[in-house]
Amino acid sequence: MLNPYFINIIILVGIYSILAVSLNLVLGFTGLINLGHVALFGVGAYTSALLTKAGAPFIVGFFSAGLTAALFGFIIIFATKKLKGDYFALASLGFAFVIGSLMLNLQWLTRGPLGIVGIERPNIFGFVLNTPVEYLIFVIIIASISIFAMRRVVNSPFGRLLHAVRNDEIGLRVLGKNTFLIKIKTMIVAGFFAGLAGSLFAHYIRFIEPSSFFLSEIIFVLSIVIIGGIASISGSVVATALLLFIPEILRFLPLQSNLLGAMRQIIYSILLLVILVFRPRGLLGRIDLE
């Protein structure tokens, strides 16, 4: 059970579940197809990596990652205030491209395509997480708290408003609710957790580069949420595990190692298309994606 290979995947499942659940909060509960979510994850990763590189303690980097990503989440939703449907999706994608090209071009800050290497291991009040098992425990704790917190949001009276925004925004406005404020709050919460996930990612892999947060990653996280089922938190967690474990089968096939990445992308995109066409509510969802 506890071989390093297995631990590695479980750690990634923990990190990506936080990211997927936070995207589901936006996509599943308010109906906003945010294609820029991976950019928030990237902003978190870079914030945490750069701050700790500059000498800040891990805890500061970790929470700053959440707060900075929350701020960017606010910027996306505020800037795209007037857009709906496709155009919101595209503007958020455009936002991800802008963030991506900033990561590539602000070389004095991000070292551009070279990425940031040698990101330190988390040091929590003097306790350094040196081994994968320690990191695993840390990720499980953070993921549990984050997902539990987002679950609380969804099951609260505010969560019911979120469902209503997705189902009938105009009806909700007739009732005198400020639906835009609801969307802003959701994006801030989702951005915060995406940023935390980014920080966990950066300090685990210990090397980040702009391409870690680009189009293929967008499809990966979107696949998780849609395959798991929109508005289903458990679905997102299960789908994260599935999508990270399924490609491991490829290791038993006689493939060139430089094609593994491409094969994974093929699997994800086929799964996503099959779910979209044949089972729009996903594996554990109760609502059809329309």
Binding site for other proteins (CB under 8 A): 33, 35, 79-87, 89-91, 94-95, 97-98, 100-102, 104-105, 107, 112, 170, 180, 215-216, 218-219, 222-223, 226, 258-259, 262-263, 265-266, 268-270, 272-273, 276-277, 280, 289-290
User: Residue 29 or 268: which CB sits closer to other proteins?
Assistant: 268
Rounded to a whole number of angstroms, the minimum distance from the CB of residue 109 to other proteins is 13
Amino acid occupying residue 4: P
Structure tokens given for 61:
């980097």
User: Residue 136 or 275: which CB sits closer to other proteins?
Assistant: 275
User: Residue 123 or 269: which CB sits closer to other proteins?
Assistant: 269
User: Residue 44 or 100: which CB sits closer to other proteins?
Assistant: 100
Rounded to a whole number of angstroms, the minimum distance from the CB of residue 121 to other proteins is 32
Structure tokens given for 224:
């998780």
Q: Could you tell me which residues are beta bridge partners of residue 230? A: none
Q: How far is the C-alpha of 160 from the C-alpha of 15, rounded, in Å?
A: 27
Rounded to a whole number of angstroms, the minimum distance from the CB of residue 125 to other proteins is 40
Rounded to a whole number of angstroms, the minimum distance from the CB of residue 75 to other proteins is 11
* First vs last C-alpha separation in the chain: 40
User: Residue 80 or 236: which CB sits closer to other proteins?
Assistant: 80
Rg, the chain, Cα only? 18
- In the block, residue with structure tokens 């098992």: 133
Rounded to a whole number of angstroms, the minimum distance from the CB of residue 190 to other proteins is 17
Contacts of 286 (CB under 8 A, 6+ apart): 229, 231, 232
Q: How far is the C-alpha of 171 from the C-alpha of 5, rounded, in Å?
A: 50
